[in-house]
Structure formats: structure tokens, C-alpha cells
Amino acid sequence: MLELAILGFLYDCSLHGYELRKRITALTGHVRPVAESTLYPAIKRLEKAGLLARETQPGAVAAPRHVLSLTADGRSELRRRLAEPERGDITDENRWFTVLAFLRHLEDADAQAAVLRRRLAFLQEPASFFYDGDRPLRAEELDDPFRQGILTIARATSRAELAWLRKTLASLG
């Protein structure tokens, strides 16, 4: 998810590390804040792989700034990752939002639709956070109001996303 976010934000424009970290944190929010100790090794890996380029520019006050930009290989890699997301990128909501944030960079509408259909199929699978044996439980079957709340909120969120997915798939043709 972190590498995808780095590639995605740098696809739009060159950024220095601090600004990149702020944007990734805004995308992932309170769920997965990005520590410098995580971000900078990921940047180094992507740079070493030839997906990022670093340019040193004079700093506004004192220290020079390192501005990161995507290479042609980095652009290709982002599009590849968007076209072929891992299962966890489809099933994990936070990872899915990262894919969704940059899916517009996958310029082929059929390829975009294929990714959205994978998410749609996942959301249509019967599921719950709570089970009776192998059978998923619905909110109405629970006595615990807190677990009912979880399932009620999840159902509403899923319905909204399903409606959006169907509408967007129809518009993509």
C-alpha cells in the first residue's frame, strides 16, 4: 500500500519527502499513519529499483531539499500495480482506497472496470464479522448492541459502495 501511494502521488507531480508523507497520511488517515522510519526506506527501495529519481534543490531557509519524481519505469509500474492489484488490495478497505485514489492513472476504461468488478465480486460474497459455525450472522440475529452496530454500519457502507460500483461500471461501458 505504501509503495502504491508513493508511486501514485508522484505520478501527479514531483514532491519532497515531507510533502509526500503529509499526502500519504491524509489518504490513510488515523488508521495507518506513516512514520519516517517506514517512508524513507520505501523511497530508497523504489529509487534503487529505478522507479523514482531524486533531485537536490536548495532549501528555502537552510538545508537542501530532495525532490522526488517518477521515472518512466515508475509510471509503468504504477499502471501495472493498478491493473493487477493483489487480492489484499481488493479485500482490505484501506488498501482498496489507495487503489481507488489512483485508478484514474490506469487510462484504459476496460482495465479500470476489471478492477472495479473484482471489488464488486468481493462485496457480493456473503460475509460477516461474526459467525455461527460457518454461517455469517446478520445484525438482527445478535443480542449485543455493539456488534449489531458494527454489522449495521458495515451493511450501510457496503450498500453505498455497491451502488457506486454499479453506477461507475455502467458509465465505463
pLDDT per position in the chain (173 positions), as tens? 899 999 999 999 999 888 998 899 888 875 566 777 888 899 999 999 999 999 988 766 767 778 999 999 999 999 999 999 999 999 998 899 999 999 999 999 999 999 999 999 999 987 788 898 988 888 999 999 999 999 999 999 999 999 999 999 999 98
CB 34 within 8 A of CB 28: yes
What is 1-125's CATH number, 2.40.160.40, 1.10.10.10, 3.30.365.10, 3.30.930.10?
A: 1.10.10.10
- The three three-digit cell numbers of residue 30, written as one number: 488515523
Distance between CA atoms of residues 130 and 34, nearest Å? 30
Distances from the Cα of 40 to the Cαs of 35, 36, 61, in angstroms? 9, 6, 22
Helix, strand, coil percent content, the chain, rounded in steps of 5 = 65, 10, 25
Domain spans, the chain: 1-125
- CA gap 98, 26 in Å, rounded: 11
Residue entry with cell 532549501: 59
Residue pair 148/156 in contact by the 8 Å Cβ criterion: no
The label of the residue with cell 481507488 reads 100
The per-residue pLDDT for 59 is 67
- Spatial distance between the Cα atoms of 102 and 111, rounded to a whole number of angstroms: 13
Question: Do residues 27 and 5 touch, judged by C-beta distance below 8 A?
Answer: yes
Handedness of CA 98, 105, 39, 15 (dihedral sign): negative
- Look at residue 60 in the predicted model and tell me its pLDDT: 67
Torsion over CA of 136, 141, 145 and 148, rounded to 10 degrees?
40
